[in-house]
Chains A and B, each alone.
Chain A
Amino acid sequence: MKFVKENLVLVVGLTVPVLLMAGFLAVSALPDGLSDPPQYDLVFTTNDYPSTPVPITVRLIVKNGALVAQYSRPPGQQGSYGAWKKLYVYEASPRRVRQLTLGFPTDMATLEGTREEAVASAAQFKLDTTLQSPDGYELSYGDRRGGGLLLEIFGGSRGYEPRLRKGTRSVPLTGGTGQPSFDYGGVEFVGWVTARNTARLRLAKTAFDCLPSGQALP
């Protein structure tokens, strides 16, 4: 007690951050219902860098709520690096990121011009390309609130990670330990999942299984 009296300023200095940490810990322990977490899944992409040159490029676009891969061969291009995409879905309920399959088309070597094909792994999603989700969240990148000088001095990569933001509340797009990290990773928005169509998934799977490999869906 004598030490506290003699070093009151020091004790205050050591206590302030600890109290604030306790406050943040208490807030993070609140039930999700009180903190208004994101309700909608988000489909997004990052750049992929295959080890072998890819002769075509891919663009992912949303047509009538369905995800479509648009393959094209730029005129005169023999091969390029970094032309492919990795496809992910952020699942709001378990708060985790899952990678979806986006392979190369089997007719990649002979493909001419531009061809569109539904992405089978995302066939179940009905997507909305409005930047803001129906519950008000938006994808923001590298704008974690604060920590400029703090993170410059002591390091920390979380200041640059993509987040879902709604007003002052934000949720990191990484799913924690064992999940992929997208710091500095160029996350690109594709769309919010507003509905899941299981019938559409079955139809896409059937169509995918029946078609000769590499042929486009009608």
Chain B
Amino acid sequence: MTAKHDALVEVVDLITRHGLTLDDVSAALAGKDGYAAQRSSSIVSRIFAYLGGTFVFVGLGIFVGMRWDDLGPAGRVLLTLGPGLCLFVLALVCTTDARVEGAATPLFLVAGLVQPTGILVMLREYGRGGEVEHAVLFMSVVMLVQQACTFWARRRTVLAFTSVVFWSMAVVVSFDLLDANMYAAGVATGVSLLCIGWSLDRSPHRAIAGLVYFFGAALLLEETYGWLRREPLEILFLGAACGVVVLAAVARSRSLLVVGTAGLVGYIADFIYRHFADNLGAPLALMAIGLVFLGLGAAAVRINTQYIAGQPPARSAGQP
């Protein structure tokens, strides 16, 4: 499949997912005035929203830091949880008005940072001791419920992102509290993130699918390698890394491809250095196997297009 075909598949996918019509696409391609103005104003509003959110966050942080020692427990909670909740409500309000909708994303992000801090401060000031992990679990579950419910209602990508973050946090801390085998916990969390990434990839929230895929695959491979390293079943890691590469091809995800390839390259290099440290034949054999794989891949595409899909093979430009 050529880059042109790839792009075409991507375009069709985007059009279907966002419910666009051919007229919308034609207008945008023709660069009509409305589209150009919308694009320009969107960039400007986004820049101001990012800058504004950053200034508010930094200013609040410095102010709280300067006054922290002079504050009582109630003051500390009010200065952390209070602004967090205000920012969250403000972000919700922004989603209802098209003129300030661009500010909603940074506001949700800042609220997603400030609110957990506020909850942890509240637990520290008014809690009765206990383990830190319990406080983090409570905070992540509260935040997960809030962010997931809001995502359900507003369908904003940023809320999907924060929900995934707090879900992962809650899962990891729960495993930690259960004194679970963290290799198994890591593999389960990795698989969970890959499944969530797959769902995001097939939704309007595709923008964060790559990030979720990346962390899911990295977790899965890192924990699998740690678990099986120097064990008789170590070779299964190769299967996991190949699985990630296959998933990358199916999901058309570059981040999965990067992680899967890095895992494969790392494992093969480690294997060769361990077992064939002074044998020059091993890397040469590996290169030969690689060339055979490349040939097989090209043959598979040709066979598919010629005999299975019933289409002539694509010819490069300039060929008769």
Residues of A whose CB lies within 8 Å of any CB of B are: 7, 9-10, 12-14, 16-17, 20-21, 24-25, 28, 144-151, 153-159, 168, 172, 177-178
A25 to chain B, nearest CB (A): 6
Q: How far is the CA of A58 from the CA of B316 in the complex (A)?
A: 81
Q: How far is the CA of A7 from the CA of B202 in the complex (A)?
A: 10
Contact check, A151 vs B182: say whether CB atoms are below 8 A apart: yes
Q: List 7 A-B contacts (CB under 8 A).
A: A13-B192, A16-B188, A21-B174, A25-B178, A145-B183, A151-B182, A154-B168
Closest 10 CB pairs of A and B: A13-B195, A147-B182, A146-B183, A146-B182, A10-B199, A24-B180, A154-B172, A149-B222, A13-B192, A20-B188
Q: How far is the CA of A21 from the CA of B137 in the complex (A)?
A: 14
Which of A10, A151, A158 has the most chain B CB atoms inside 10 A of its CB?
A: A10
Say yes or no for B320: interface residue by CB 8 A criterion. no
Q: How far is the CA of A25 from the CA of B179 in the complex (A)?
A: 9
Told that A14-B167, A158-B179 touch, could you supply 12 new A-B pairs with CB distance under 8 A?
Answer: A9-B195, A13-B191, A13-B194, A17-B185, A147-B183, A148-B223, A150-B185, A153-B215, A156-B172, A177-B129, A177-B131, A178-B129
Contact check, B227 vs A146: say whether CB atoms are below 8 A apart: yes
B133 to chain A, nearest CB (A): 7
Q: Which residues of A contact B195 (CB under 8 A)?
A: 9-10, 12-14, 16
Q: How far is the CA of A156 from the CA of B188 in the complex (A)?
A: 18
Contact check, B186 vs A150: say whether CB atoms are below 8 A apart: yes
Contact check, B172 vs A145: say whether CB atoms are below 8 A apart: no
A169 to chain B, nearest CB (A): 10
Say yes or no for B171: interface residue by CB 8 A criterion. yes
Instruction: Give the B interface residue count (CB, 8 A).
Output: 41
Say yes or no for B226: interface residue by CB 8 A criterion. yes
A17 with B198, Cβ < 8 A, contacts A150-B189, A151-B182, A177-B130 known: no
Contact check, B198 vs A9: say whether CB atoms are below 8 A apart: yes
Q: How far is the CA of A21 from the CA of B193 in the complex (A)?
A: 16
Q: Which residues of B contact A148 (CB under 8 A)?
A: 186, 222-223, 226
Q: How far is the CA of A144 from the CA of B248 in the complex (A)?
A: 31
Q: Which residues of A contact B171 (CB under 8 A)?
A: 17, 21
Say yes or no for B219: interface residue by CB 8 A criterion. yes
Say yes or no for B303: interface residue by CB 8 A criterion. no
Q: How far is the CA of A158 from the CA of B188 in the complex (A)?
A: 19
Q: How far is the CA of A21 from the CA of B177 in the complex (A)?
A: 10
B212: nearest residue on chain A (CB-CB)?
Answer: A13
Selected from A28, A144, A150, A178, the residue in CB contact (under 8 A) with B172 is: A150
Say yes or no for B175: interface residue by CB 8 A criterion. yes
Selected from A20, A24, A146, A172, the residue in CB contact (under 8 A) with B226 is: A146
Q: How far is the CA of A178 from the CA of B129 in the complex (A)?
A: 8
B48 to chain A, nearest CB (A): 32
Q: How far is the CA of A24 from the CA of B171 in the complex (A)?
A: 13
Q: How far is the CA of A172 from the CA of B168 in the complex (A)?
A: 24
Q: Which residues of B contact A9 (CB under 8 A)?
A: 195, 198-199
Q: How far is the CA of A33 from the CA of B132 in the complex (A)?
A: 30
B206 to chain A, nearest CB (A): 14
Give the contacts of B112-136 with A (CB-CB under 8 A). Answer: 129-133, 136
Q: How far is the CA of A144 from the CA of B226 in the complex (A)?
A: 12
Q: How far is the CA of A156 from the CA of B129 in the complex (A)?
A: 17
Say yes or no for B184: interface residue by CB 8 A criterion. yes
A144 with B196, Cβ < 8 A, contacts A17-B188, A149-B223 known: no
Contact check, A17 vs B189: say whether CB atoms are below 8 A apart: yes
Contact check, A17 vs B192: say whether CB atoms are below 8 A apart: yes
Q: Which residues of A contact B222 (CB under 8 A)?
A: 148-149
Contact check, A159 vs B184: say whether CB atoms are below 8 A apart: no
Q: How far is the CA of A42 from the CA of B223 in the complex (A)?
A: 31
Contact check, B169 vs A21: say whether CB atoms are below 8 A apart: no
Contact check, A154 vs B130: say whether CB atoms are below 8 A apart: no
Say yes or no for B181: interface residue by CB 8 A criterion. yes
Say yes or no for B176: interface residue by CB 8 A criterion. yes
> B154-168 CB contact bits vs A (8 Å, 1 = yes)?
000000000000011
Q: How far is the CA of A168 from the CA of B176 in the complex (A)?
A: 16
A150 to chain B, nearest CB (A): 5
A13: nearest residue on chain B (CB-CB)?
Answer: B195
Contact check, A145 vs B182: say whether CB atoms are below 8 A apart: yes
A197 to chain B, nearest CB (A): 34
Say yes or no for B14: interface residue by CB 8 A criterion. no
Say yes or no for B143: interface residue by CB 8 A criterion. no
Q: Which residues of B contact A17 (CB under 8 A)?
A: 171, 174-175, 185, 188-189, 192
Say yes or no for B218: interface residue by CB 8 A criterion. yes
Selected from B131, B133, B174, B186, the residue in CB contact (under 8 A) with A147 is: B186
Q: How far is the CA of A177 from the CA of B54 in the complex (A)?
A: 39
A1 to chain B, nearest CB (A): 17
Q: How far is the CA of A116 from the CA of B253 in the complex (A)?
A: 68
A168: nearest residue on chain B (CB-CB)?
Answer: B181
B202: nearest residue on chain A (CB-CB)?
Answer: A9
B180: nearest residue on chain A (CB-CB)?
Answer: A24
